[in-house]
């Protein structure tokens, strides 16, 4: 798998120990250059998208009822269509009025989260799911016939894949499409309640058509899941068409500007020509044919063509975390609480606990950003056709699953931490954080439940490991070498011999241990070794399942599911560290590069710190070096303290994107007023004497 082994070459710019480097207190972050760099590969498009996200016409209005919010979002989408920028059509072919820029499209989509997540996701349903299904699963004739109305919003659409009884397990959906050769139509049916299409954006109110996924049955043979274009409402009356039924999903925990709903079908007839037929078609007599012979490969190819949802959610989640962090850090740089040794209260960022709450998350946000940029490159390579190969598509699917499942969890955890770090102010709707958290909550489960996605990633890693082992053991000599190397590695690690040698090297000099951890090669070795070891362990544990009876094989897999998920998480950590490290040389200003190296180190070492038990139990770190990790991270956080506001400003979001009262400078004004009041009171000589001071002076 090409994305797991991006080479890393250490350079002098990758370390902050060069003799010519400035002193810590002299370095400054070039905020403007950082913001510019983070615009990525398509800066002009992303800049335009961010400008649109800052436009008040597209902002979320927290005072609206759900019904009002839904209508506002639909009108905002119409504004987007009519603004002349074509930002919503970036991914579509030039012959359709688009710009053929699939990667730029997702970069721009991720910026809409700053305006209103409901607007972002409803737009994603229309152009990233409904329209994209026509584009990627339809033939050129079907694209020409069906796409224009989907693109210009003449036909608002729903993407009807998920069912009440089957979410992530798409292959098992219950809806059927049975071919009738006499009329050359498919008959769409929902055979039981669990097969209702559910949670569908646009379905409750606005959609007049849907791309419906169903089991294609012809001549008595089920050819698996295929997609059909199905009108569902009369565009004039907005009543359901005959045979189509549905209902509103009702009030949700977030994303209340989207009309999520359910659909079901009874004897709905769909013309043969409206089976989206790129990967499978049915002739007039009912004969099925496909360019992909294997039903399993055909299914995964069809679903793989819709991977953009996971890619876009990864970037969106990282951006939401950036917004929360920018609000919380700006507030913490102004808010004062508790007097220290003097008369003035202490700024929150000057507390070690506050730095621990927020600074590692800043580092992870940067790591997530650079990983998403790599993912966008991979997506664009595939969907532009420039490097579209089966292996690249498989890499894209695996990487998207790894990063989406990681970043959405990270965003939710970070927003909650930001909320708590802002105290009561963080709980106020006017300060955005609780609203963002509520809207992003569902990101953890749609476009694939995170735990299911992590299992997908781990299975790919295990499969790759199996292929490597098979290649290494084709000959008796190769088998012997593999067994000896594996046995030697296990002996060194699990008897503690490596730990002993490391402890001897560390004795008497904690700085040596800290310096070793600072080295990028050491960080990469520790992160990569954890992935490799976990994958090997779970692969060996799953090996008996290959020849076991089905029930026994299922038991073995079930026993190792948690290990699979943990291996996938470790893989995502490594991907993000490598992406961050690869980006460091692009910071041209030496001071900025040095600060960003500290930020990278904070990310890498906090990941290692999180899993110190594993490193100790597996003999990868000595006790002394393990103890050094936390101390060195704390030292790095102190170094980053003067640059905290600059680091979140480097994300590139202004107050028009944050829109939180506590990030506006109002707290600084309040603090200045309070400090001026107490200073004047002390100067007047009329300040009351505290009882505590009076008692002390009378002793």
The full length of the chain comes to: 699
Asked if 330 and 312 count as a contact pair (C-beta separation under 8 A), the reply is no
Span 507-536, mean pLDDT? Answer: 81
In angstroms, rounded to a whole number, what is the distance separating the alpha carbons of residues 41 and 44?
Answer: 9
Looking at the DSSP bridge assignments, the partners of residue 212 are 160, 228
More confident residue, 256 or 302: 256
- pTM (2 d.p.): 0.91
Least confident residue range of 180-189, 230-239, 271-280, 685-694: 685-694
Confidence of residue 24 (pLDDT cuts 50, 70, 90): confident
Q: What is the pLDDT of residues 151-185, one digit of tens each?
A: 999 999 999 999 999 887 899 999 999 999 999 99
pLDDT at 339: 78
Q: In this model, does residue 287 exceed pLDDT 70?
A: yes
Name the DSSP class of 20: T
3-state SS assignment for residue 346: strand
Name the DSSP class of 247: E
Span 383-394, mean pLDDT? Answer: 90
Q: What is the pLDDT of residues 637-668, one digit of tens each?
A: 999 999 999 999 999 999 999 999 999 999 99
Span 263-278, mean pLDDT? Answer: 98
pLDDT at 470: 67
Q: In this model, does residue 568 exceed pLDDT 70?
A: yes
Asked if 661 and 670 count as a contact pair (C-beta separation under 8 A), the reply is no
Torsion sign across C-alpha atoms 445, 448, 452, 455:
negative
pLDDT at 342: 63
Pick the most confident of 301-305, 338-342, 661-665, 695-699.
661-665
3-state SS assignment for residue 313: helix
Mean pLDDT of the chain: 90
pLDDT at 224: 96
Identify the residue whose tokens are 């090996």.
Answer: 543
Confidence of residue 488 (pLDDT cuts 50, 70, 90): very low
More confident residue, 403 or 343: 403
How many Cβ atoms are within 10 Å of 101's Cβ, its own excluded?
22
Question: By percentage, how much of the chain surpasses pLDDT 90?
Answer: 77
Span 124-130, mean pLDDT? Answer: 96
pLDDT at 390: 87
Phi-psi region of 448 (alpha: psi -120 to 50; beta: other; left: phi over 0): left
Q: In this model, does residue 500 exceed pLDDT 50?
A: no
In angstroms, rounded to a whole number, what is the distance separating the alpha carbons of residues 245 and 587?
Answer: 56
Confidence of residue 515 (pLDDT cuts 50, 70, 90): confident
Distance of CA 454 to the CA centre of its chain: 13
pLDDT at 468: 74
Name 583's Cβ contacts closer than 8 Å, sequence gap at least 6: 37, 370, 373, 596
Q: In this model, does residue 467 exceed pLDDT 90?
A: no
Q: In this model, does residue 13 exceed pLDDT 60?
A: no
pLDDT at 168: 79
pLDDT at 15: 47
**DSSP β-ladder status, 244-248 and 185-189:** unpaired
pLDDT at 699: 73
pLDDT at 472: 58
Q: In this model, does residue 421 exceed pLDDT 70?
A: yes
Q: What is the pLDDT of residues 289-333, one digit of tens each?
A: 999 999 989 998 888 878 999 999 999 999 999 999 999 999 999
Q: In this model, does residue 692 exceed pLDDT 90?
A: no
More confident residue, 693 or 170: 170
Confidence of residue 442 (pLDDT cuts 50, 70, 90): very high
- For residue 280 the two structure tokens come to 């499978």
| DSSP character string of 435-464 | HHHHHHGGGGTTTS-HHHHHHHHHHHHHHH
H-helix or E-strand spanning residue 254: none
Asked if 163 and 173 count as a contact pair (C-beta separation under 8 A), the reply is yes
- Mapping DSSP onto H, E and C, the string for 554-578 reads HHHHHHCHHHHHHHHHHHHHHHHHH
Looking at the DSSP bridge assignments, the partners of residue 217 are 178, 222
- For residue 67 the two structure tokens come to 């019904």
Confidence of residue 546 (pLDDT cuts 50, 70, 90): confident
In angstroms, rounded to a whole number, what is the distance separating the alpha carbons of residues 114 and 323?
Answer: 8
pLDDT at 18: 43
pLDDT at 677: 92
pLDDT at 471: 64
In angstroms, rounded to a whole number, what is the distance separating the alpha carbons of residues 318 and 114?
Answer: 11
In angstroms, rounded to a whole number, what is the distance separating the alpha carbons of residues 69 and 67?
Answer: 5
Catalytic residues: 447
């Amino acid at each position: 798998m090409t994305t797991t082994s991006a080479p890393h070459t250490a350079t002098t710019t990758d370390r902050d120990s060069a003799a010519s480097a400035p002193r810590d207190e002299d370095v400054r972050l070039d905020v403007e250059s950082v913001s510019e760099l983070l615009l990525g590969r398509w800066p002009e498009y992303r800049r335009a998208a961010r400008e649109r996200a800052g436009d008040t016409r597209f902002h979320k209005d927290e005072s609206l009822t759900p019904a009002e919010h839904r209508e506002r979002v639909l009108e905002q989408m119409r504004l987007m269509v009519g603004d002349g920028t074509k930002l919503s059509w970036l991914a579509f072919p030039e012959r359709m009025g688009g710009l053929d820029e699939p990667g730029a499209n997702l970069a721009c989509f991720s910026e809409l989260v700053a305006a209103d997540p409901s607007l972002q996701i409803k737009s994603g349903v229309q152009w990233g799911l409904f329209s994209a299904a026509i584009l990627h699963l339809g033939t050129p004739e079907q694209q020409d016939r069906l796409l224009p109305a989907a693109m210009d919003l003449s036909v608002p659409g729903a993407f009807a894949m998920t069912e009440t009884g089957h979410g992530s397990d798409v292959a098992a959906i219950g809806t059927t499409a049975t071919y009738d050769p006499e009329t050359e139509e498919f008959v769409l049916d929902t055979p039981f309640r669990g097969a209702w299409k559910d949670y569908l954006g646009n379905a409750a109110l606005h959609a007049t058509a849907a791309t419906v996924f169903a089991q294609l049955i012809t001549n008595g043979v089920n050819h698996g899941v295929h997609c059909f274009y199905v009108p569902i409402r009369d565009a004039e009356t907005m009543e359901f068409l005959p045979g189509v039924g549905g209902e509103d999903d009702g009030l949700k925990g977030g994303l209340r500007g989207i009309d999520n709903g359910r659909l079901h079908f009874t004897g709905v007839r769909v013309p043969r020509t409206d089976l989206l037929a790129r990967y499978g078609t049915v002739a007039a007599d009912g004969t099925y044919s496909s360019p992909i012979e294997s039903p399993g490969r055909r299914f995964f190819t069809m679903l793989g063509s819709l991977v953009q949802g996971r890619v876009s959610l990864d970037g969106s989640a990282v951006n939401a975390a950036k917004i929360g962090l920018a609000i919380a850090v700006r507030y913490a740089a102004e808010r004062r609480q508790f007097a220290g040794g003097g008369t003035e209260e202490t700024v929150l960022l000057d507390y070690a606990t506050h730095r621990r709450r927020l600074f590692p998350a800043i580092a992870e946000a940067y790591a997530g950003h650079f990983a998403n940029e790599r993912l966008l490159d991979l997506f664009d390579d595939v969907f532009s056709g420039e490097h579209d190969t089966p292996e690249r598509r498989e890499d894209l699917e695996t990487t998207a699953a790894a990063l989406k499942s990681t970043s959405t969890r990270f965003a939710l955890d970070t927003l909650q931490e930001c909320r708590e770090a802002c105290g009561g102010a963080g709980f106020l709707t006017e300060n955005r954080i609780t609203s963002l958290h509520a809207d992003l909550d569902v990101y953890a489960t749609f476009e694939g439940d995170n735990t299911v996605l992590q299992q997908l990633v781990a299975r790919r890693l295990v499969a790759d490991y199996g292929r490597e082992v098979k290649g290494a053991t084709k000959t008796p000599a190769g088998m012997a070498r593999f067994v000896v190397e594996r046995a030697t590695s296990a002996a060194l690690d699990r008897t503690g011999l490596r730990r002993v040698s490391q402890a001897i090297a560390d004795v008497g000099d904690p700085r040596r241990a800290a310096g070793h951890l600072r080295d990028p090669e050491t960080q990469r070795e520790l992160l990569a070794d954890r992935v490799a070891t976990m994958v090997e362990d779970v692969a060996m544990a799953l090996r008996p399942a290959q020849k076991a009876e089905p029930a026994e094989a299922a038991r073995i897999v079930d026993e190792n599911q948690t290990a699979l998920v943990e291996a996938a998480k470790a893989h995502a950590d490594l991907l993000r560290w490598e992406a961050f490290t690869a980006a460091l040389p692009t910071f041209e200003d030496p001071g900025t590069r040095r600060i960003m190296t500290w930020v990278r180190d904070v990310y890498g070492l906090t990941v290692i710190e999180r899993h110190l038990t594993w490193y100790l139990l597996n003999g990868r770190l000595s006790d002394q070096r393990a103890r050094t990790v936390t101390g060195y991270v704390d030292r790095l956080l102190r170094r980053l303290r003067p640059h905290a506001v600059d680091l979140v400003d480097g994300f590139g979001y202004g107050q028009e994107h944050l829109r939180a009262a506590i990030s506006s400078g109002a707290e600084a004004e309040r603090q200045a007023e309070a400090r001026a009041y107490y200073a004047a009171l002390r100067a007047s000589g009329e300040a009351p004497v505290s009882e505590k001071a009076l008692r002390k002076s009378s002793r």
